[in-house]
Amino acid sequence: MSEAEEIPLWEVFIRPRNGLAHRHCGSLHAADAEMALQAARDVYTRRGEGLSVWVIPSAQIVASDPQDRDLLFDPADDKIYRHPSFYNIPDDVGHM
Amino acid sequence: MYSQGLIGSGEQTTETPEFLAAFQARIDADEKIEPNDPMPAAYRNTLIRQIGQHAHSEIVGMLPEGNWITRAPTLRRKAALLAKVQDEGGHGLYLYSAAETLGVSRKQMTEELVSGKAKYSSIFNYPTQTWADIGAIGWLVDGAAIMNQVPLCRCSYGPYARAMIRVCKEESFHQRQGYEIMLKLAEGSPAQKEMAQDALNRWWWPSLMMFGPPDGESEHSDQSTRWKIKRFTNDELRQKFVDATVPQAQRLGLSLPDPALAWNEVEGRYDYGEIDWDEFWAVVKGHGPLNKARVAARKKAWEEGAWVREAALAHAKKRAARHTAAIAAE
């Protein structure tokens, strides 16, 4: 192998059972998608952890910058009118 | 890892006192640090070193036990040992992937291991001479590892803590299978009991050494504690291990090879004898019984696997090229 070359990195997502979303559980190195799936099975599901596995090349993930956290997420903090408890409904209306 | 490459894990942090104080405040508030977060270079480097050594220990740890897979006394024992060794391989992989989130490459870590530069747990430089050694390793070495690893599940670095949760879930079977082997031998013929006692004699002290040098001599301890990488000192964990293990040895009807071992009524713990730290440092520095053989075995596997890695990459490229050509032809 050309010694400079790294075997690509993949992110592994597992669905523990139907009805739940796939959840990130770790990463691994594999030359192609098929080998990544097989390796994910061996590395991350030795005890019935999953019914379905996704593998995604790590290089394909676009992530937000933690330094932008306030810029991105602060605007949601002061909009309490987006929550049901903001509205006053008399008790005698019953559950709503 | 979570795309740490995108936001420059190699990026220099500006470590002003304000930056360091802000980081410490996050740690003190029990916030988890995630891969792309700003962090002091020393925090990153401490974790790279610690997680890397931990990963190497799992990988090298497969060797002493792998030695007995083909000679396990029954199919039940063989299946269990095979599953245990496979788990150790898996644990190494979880940990390598946690270390990679900090910007170190897998290749770099592997090269440091096979060149003999990287450290791993010194316990794996001792030989497995009899079947009872497999019992003693599961019971004592995995038992000591669990003592160390349970607090790491709450480590401040998110990916390491998450990897440790998976590892701890799986390790409990390792310790139980080891103890069961010891129990069977201890209840067996006099020769079998003698074999179990001999293994315990040889593995007891190296197991105590697994917790590292005594407090006060451990160079990394204080800062790691402030950063909540470490939650207990080496001596605290060692004491917990001794207190948990002595009654287990008594239940086996085996004796621990330490004449100074005695219950301390006042302190509510066991006192134990002086550890031979000269032996510990000799093994750490490469002079244990099998240091050279362990590194040589990893080097051989790495070099002899080179053509497989090369072929897999070439195959992947060829298939990708064919796929592109097929799409272009449509």
What is the end-to-end Cα distance of chain B in Å, rounded?
Answer: 37
Q: Which of B6, B97, B107 sits opposite A6 (nearest CB)?
A: B107
Question: Is residue A28 within 8 angstroms of chain B, CB to CB?
Answer: yes
pLDDT for the residue numbered B21:
94
Residue A65 to residue B38, Cβ atoms within 8 A:
no
pLDDT at site B227: 95
- For residue A58, the chain B residue with the least C-alpha distance is B3
B13 has a pLDDT exceeding 60: no
- Residues of chain B with pLDDT > 90: what percent? 89
pLDDT of residue B125: 96
| A-chain residues near B312 (CB < 8 A) | 7, 30-32, 35
The greatest distance separating any two alpha carbons of chain B, rounded to the nearest whole angstrom, comes to 84
Q: Which residues contact A81 (CB under 8 A, 6 or more apart)?
A: none
Is pLDDT of B14 > 70?
no
> Any idea how long chain B is?
330
Q: Does the beta carbon of A72 lie under 8 angstroms from any beta carbon of chain B?
A: no
Which residue's entry shows tokens 């095979």?
A: B82
Report residue B12's pLDDT band, with 50, 70 and 90 as the boundaries: low
What's the rounded mean pLDDT across residues B142-153? Answer: 95
pLDDT of amino acid A66: 82
User: Between B36, B107, B307, which is nearest A65 by CB?
Assistant: B36
Q: Are B85 and B66 in contact (CB under 8 A)?
A: yes
Pairwise pLDDT comparison (A5 vs A11), residue with the higher score: A11
Q: Does the pLDDT value for residue B10 go beyond 70?
A: no
Q: Tally DSSP H helices, then E strands, for chain A.
A: 2, 3
DSSP-assigned states of every residue in B13-68: P---HHHHHHHHHHHHTTPPB-TTS---HHHHHHHHHHHHHHHHHHHHTHHHHHTT
| Residue closest to B256 by CA, chosen among B272, B240, B268, B267 | B272
Calculate how close chain A gets to B164, using CA atoms only, in Å: 12
What does the DSSP assignment read for B68-95?
TGGG-SSHHHHHHHHHHHHHHHHHHHHH
Q: Which of B90, B106, B312 sits opposite A31 (nearest CB)?
A: B312
- Reported as a pLDDT band with limits 50, 70 and 90, residue B215 is confident
The larger pLDDT score, comparing residue B123 to residue B1, is at: B123
Of A31, A42, A67, the CB nearest to B315: A31
How many contacts, defined by CB atoms under 8 Å, are there between A and B? 79
By the CB < 8 Å criterion, does A70 face chain B? Answer: no
B280-313 pLDDT, tens per residue? 999 999 999 999 999 999 999 999 999 999 999 9
Is pLDDT above 90 for B153?
yes
pLDDT digits over A33-61, tens only?
999 999 999 999 999 889 999 999 999 99
Using the predicted structure, report yes or no on whether residue B7 has a pLDDT greater than 90.
no
CA A35 to chain centre: 21
Interface of B with A in 89-118 (CB under 8 A): 90, 93-94, 97-98, 100, 105-107
Paired tokens of B165:
């949760």
Contact A55, A37 (CB under 8 A): yes
CB < 8 Å from A in window 199-238 of B? none
Query: Is the Cβ pair B1, A9 closer than 8 Å?
Result: yes
**pLDDT at residue number A87:** 94
Shortest distance between the Cα of A63 and any Cα of chain B, in A, equals 7
Structure confidence by residue, pLDDT tens digits, B19-67: 999 999 999 999 999 998 999 999 999 999 999 999 999 999 999 999 9
> Is the model's pLDDT at B223 over the cut of 60?
yes
Q: Find the closest chain A residue to B312 by CA distance.
A: A31
Q: Which DSSP letter does residue B157 get?
A: B
Question: Is the model's pLDDT at B6 over the cut of 50?
Answer: no
The candidate with the shortest Cα–Cα distance to B172, out of B208, B151, B202, B147, is B147
**A64-68, B91-95, B164-168, B178-182: range with lowest mean pLDDT:** A64-68
Q: How confident is the model at residue B83 (pLDDT cuts 50, 70, 90)?
A: very high
Instruction: List, as own/partner pairs, every contact residues B24-32 make where C-beta atoms lie below 8 angstroms and the sequence separation is at least 24, other chains included.
Output: B24/B226, B24/B227, B27/B156, B27/B226, B27/B227, B27/B228, B30/B228, B31/B156, B32/B156, B32/B157, B32/B158, B32/B161
Question: Quick one: pLDDT band at residue B239, thresholds 50, 70, 90?
Answer: very high
Tell me whether residues A46 and B34 touch, CB distance under 8 A: no
pLDDT at B4: 34
- Report how far residue B100's alpha carbon sits from residue B109's, in angstroms, rounded to the nearest whole number: 9
Query: In the prediction, which pLDDT does A4 show?
Result: 56
**Taking CA atoms, what residue in B is nearest to A7?**
B313
From A79's Cα to the closest Cα of chain B, the distance in A is 25
Chain B residues with CB-CB distance to A9 below 8 A = 1, 100
A43·B94 Cβ contact <8 A: yes
Q: Is the CB of B106 less than 8 angstroms away from the CB of A11?
A: no
Find chain B residues with C-beta within 8 A of A44's C-beta.
90
Cβ separation B87–A1 shorter than 8 A: no
**Minimum-distance CB partner of A31 among B36, B163, B313:** B313
- Give me the residue label for tokens 């790691």: B224
Q: What gap in Å lies between CA B208 and CA B123, rounded to an integer?
A: 10
Say which of A25, A46, A61 has its CB closest to residue B3.
A61
**Distance from C-alpha of A38 to C-alpha of A35, rounded to nearest angstrom:** 5
Indicate yes or no: CB of B312 within 8 angstroms of CB of A67: no
